[in-house]
Structure 1
Amino acid sequence: MLEIKVAKSGGDYAVIQEAIDAVPYEESAVIEVSAGVYREKIFCEKEDITLVGAGIDETVIDFDDYANEVMPDGSKRGTFRTYTAFFGGKKVTVRNMTIKNSAGDGRVVGQAVAVYADADICRFEKVKMTGCKDTLFCAPLPVSARQQNGFMGPRMMTERRLTRQYYKNCEITGDVDFIFGGADAVFDDCVITCNDRMFGRSAGSRAGAGSASGVDKDQIDISERIINGYITAACGLKDNMGFVFRNCRIFGAKGCEKGSVFLGRPWREEARTVFLDCIMDESIAPERFSGWGGITKDEPGTYYGEYGTRVISDPQAGSDSSREASLDRKNPWVRAIDHATAADISRRADEVVLACTE
């Protein structure tokens, strides 16, 4: 196995991309990335590669491409060319670092992906992923785009294949659809935080929330209610596992209004997302999940639900101050999962974890 060190000085390479490029596709490698901020847009497609930072807040990879950027040919960059880090190939492991897209407010710049995870097997441990709109893409793409060239990027023309992904002790921050895609992905013991998107408002005011018509640039109707965002936007098929969050802490950032954050909305009709034994704060909407194009839009083909959710008033407080979440106002197509079903879903999740860690 190759062992390579990246450092601002004294390493084998000073640039992460150069270290990745030096690894032959078929050879396993561990790339140790020393502390520092690396302003790079990286593309990694190898058979088995591991990137290890010096700490979740010590090693930072940062770039700021964004979807609304106009390219030399006059077209826009689009979502899937905005990534700070693309991970393809057969197996990738990333530990102990931050990967961020610092393009800023999605209402201005559009989508801005921090991590594009597309390897057959993906494992992220103690990785912080930060952005605004579309922070983490868990490939594959849906089969077809809803608009011409909507999937312009590294996998636009390739056959869709199911990936298995595992996120352990990670921190993921964003606002609109910021964990999205069609993977079978397990999130264990992660901290998920939705940004406060109402920039510039004064106390008791909705200034800066959107246009005068009440429609936000992300096509969110805020005429009757402030919506800070949607944590997930899954597009997995109904027979797949989809997204499973276990023992995670789900919060709105300081300033998020009560009931203004949705656990997700379906990017496609067969989306699957469940939350098991998670702790959430009061920013989570009483409907729990939203339809695509409207909070109460019926989504009968989806599988959305939760089990064992606890609510906590103060995110800094211990779990012993939590209480059982009420699902009395959930959308009717959202499931209140029973114990036996939760155990079965967790068993399927364990199979994904095993595949990603063995």
Structure 2
Amino acid sequence: MSLISPSRRNVLAGAALLVPTATLAAPRYDAVLWRGAGENPYGAPAYPSLSAAVAAAPASGAKPFRILVTRGVWDEQVVIDKPFVHLIGEDRKASVISHLAASGLTAPDGKRWGTFRTPTLFVRASDFAASNLTIQNAFDGLAEMSKSGGLHSHDGGGPQAVALMLDKGSDRARIRDADILGYQDTLFPDAGSSLFERCLITGSYDFIFGGGRAYFQACEIRSRPRPVDPIDGYIVAPSTPIDQPFGFVFQDCRLTKAAGTKAGSVYLGRPWRPSSAFADGRYGDPRFVGMAAFLGCWMDDHIAPAGWTEMWYTGKDGNPRTMLQPEDARFSQYRATGPGAAKLSRGRWLSEAQARAMSRRNVLAWRS
């Protein structure tokens, strides 16, 4: 027998219908990286590694599968091969996806890693997103080149070490409020379109490179020193296909320097021309004509007065030091400010109309 009167019961039933929907909503995350003792407090399935969490995502997802990256260093090499995987860090500096691999080092299979096997995180599916976390390659390029017999860029020694690669299959990737850390070849947006907002990207040689379309908005691009080399580095090395109008566009970014980076020692970029196989041999593919533009960016005094420089490729005659000049690529700047922006003698200066044509919407070809 109920102890609640019919009228009282009706009032309570009505009140239940008025409970805010937020209290009845699904958990905020679909998966949680968790090493703690006992049940995690986030109301979502817990996984001991990012790879395990990605494996739980739907193979053909049509909505975000949200993975909380809790505080800690999650040391593994991960492939994102499912659409709509979204990584959300608990703490931008303390939620770290990390791995150590460099081109010239020996991998577990007994072979050298090679640049294209080094990424900490491979993205090979569409609609990936990451925010409020750090993605790094833990290879210490500065320490390596500072020691006797270490790996050096200038002698082909293999210090390339990628943190994040947007590989074939990636498109509409969104990375916000994230740190992407490395030393050489840090960020490799090589396919599809990608948006980077309020990110920190660090490195020295060619540390943003590849053939994809990438728009960088309000990011900090921080160059790191190379004490044993006369040149501290190159920010971009695009390999944009000639039939692709846009490559890397930086809007309202800050080009800063780490301590020890010399004045005038870093070029904005150089044009990378990868080789392809042809009927008459293998040589630099003329289809690749790099495109990059810096729009309204502040530049510290580490930027070289020329702004842009040449890069070698293998010529049709077999000469491995054939030079592709910046004037033969698609390099430009608009309204650069700061101590490093006074001259920039190479690269094309854009008009306001030309700069406006490189809008986020035009570069990415997204509806939003």
TM-score normalised according to structure 2 size? 0.75
**Alignment of 1:114 onto 2:114:** no
1:255 alignment counterpart: 260
Q: Once the 2 structures are TM-superposed, how far is the Cα of residue 299 of structure 1 from its aligned partner? A: 3.6
Q: 1:341 to 1:352 in 2, by over 3 A?
A: closer
Give the SS at the match of 1:350. helix
2:354 alignment counterpart: 341
Q: Once the 2 structures are TM-superposed, how far is the Cα of residue 310 of structure 1 from its aligned partner? A: 0.4
Q: Once the 2 structures are TM-superposed, how far is the Cα of residue 24 of structure 1 from its aligned partner? A: 2.1
Q: Which moved more, 1:16-25 or 1:73-82?
A: 73-82
Q: Once the 2 structures are TM-superposed, how far is the Cα of residue 344 of structure 1 from its aligned partner? A: 1.0
Give the SS at the match of 2:81. strand
2:285 alignment counterpart: none
Q: Once the 2 structures are TM-superposed, how far is the Cα of residue 72 of structure 1 from its aligned partner? A: 6.1
2:56 to 14, 19, 22: 22
1:164 alignment counterpart: 193
Q: Once the 2 structures are TM-superposed, how far is the Cα of residue 129 of structure 1 from its aligned partner? A: 0.6
Q: Once the 2 structures are TM-superposed, how far is the Cα of residue 58 of structure 1 from its aligned partner? A: 2.2
1-structure distance, mates of 2:35, 2:357: 47
**Alignment of 1:136 onto 2:187:** yes
2-structure distance, mates of 1:297, 1:20: 41
Q: Once the 2 structures are TM-superposed, how far is the Cα of residue 73 of structure 1 from its aligned partner? A: 6.1
Q: 1:353 to 1:58 in 2, by over 3 A?
A: farther
Q: 1:246 to 1:18 in 2, by over 3 A?
A: same
2:204 alignment counterpart: 175
1:227 to 226, 231, 241: 231
Q: Once the 2 structures are TM-superposed, how far is the Cα of residue 297 of structure 1 from its aligned partner? A: 6.2
Q: Is the 8 Å Cα contact of residues 246 and 276 (structure 1) preserved in structure 2?
A: yes
1:290 to 301, 309, 318: 309
1-structure distance, mates of 2:56, 2:132: 22
Paired amino acid for 1:233: A
Q: Is the 8 Å Cα contact of residues 165 and 352 (structure 1) preserved in structure 2?
A: no
1-structure distance, mates of 2:296, 2:109: 49
2-structure distance, mates of 1:20, 1:166: 21
Q: Is the 8 Å Cα contact of residues 83 and 115 (structure 1) preserved in structure 2?
A: yes
Paired amino acid for 2:125: G
Q: Is the 8 Å Cα contact of residues 282 and 312 (structure 1) preserved in structure 2?
A: yes
Paired amino acid for 1:264: G
1:330 to 345, 352, 360: 345
Q: Is the 8 Å Cα contact of residues 238 and 303 (structure 1) preserved in structure 2?
A: no
2-structure distance, mates of 1:75, 1:37: 26
2-structure distance, mates of 1:280, 1:113: 24
Q: Is the 8 Å Cα contact of residues 271 and 325 (structure 2) preserved in structure 1?
A: no
Give the SS at the match of 1:18. helix
Give CA-to-partner distance per residue, 1:321-345, whole Å, 9 cap, x none: xxxx323x512xx101111111111
1:53-92 to 2 correspondences below 5 Å: 53-71=89-107, 75-92=111-128
Give the SS at the match of 2:308. coil
**Alignment of 1:125 onto 2:176:** yes
**Alignment of 1:265 onto 2:276:** no
1:193 alignment counterpart: 222
1:7 alignment counterpart: 34
2-structure distance, mates of 1:259, 1:297: 22
Q: CA RMSD in A?
A: 2.1
Q: 1:41 to 1:75 in 2, by over 3 A?
A: closer
Q: 1:61 to 1:277 in 2, by over 3 A?
A: same
Q: Is the 8 Å Cα contact of residues 270 and 326 (structure 2) preserved in structure 1?
A: no
Give CA-to-partner distance per residue, 1:166-205, whole Å, 9 cap, x none: 000000001000000011100000000010111xxxxxxx
Q: Once the 2 structures are TM-superposed, how far is the Cα of residue 278 of structure 1 from its aligned partner? A: 0.4
State the percentage of identical aligned residues. 32
Number of paired residues? 293
Structure 1's unaligned 5+ residue stretches are 141-162, 199-208, 211-225, 314-324
Q: Looking at CA atoms only, which structure, 1 or 2, has the larger radius of gyration?
A: 2
1-structure distance, mates of 2:327, 2:365: 31
Give CA-to-partner distance per residue, 1:193-220, whole Å, 9 cap, x none: 010111xxxxxxxxxx15xxxxxxxxxx
Give the SS at the match of 1:91. coil
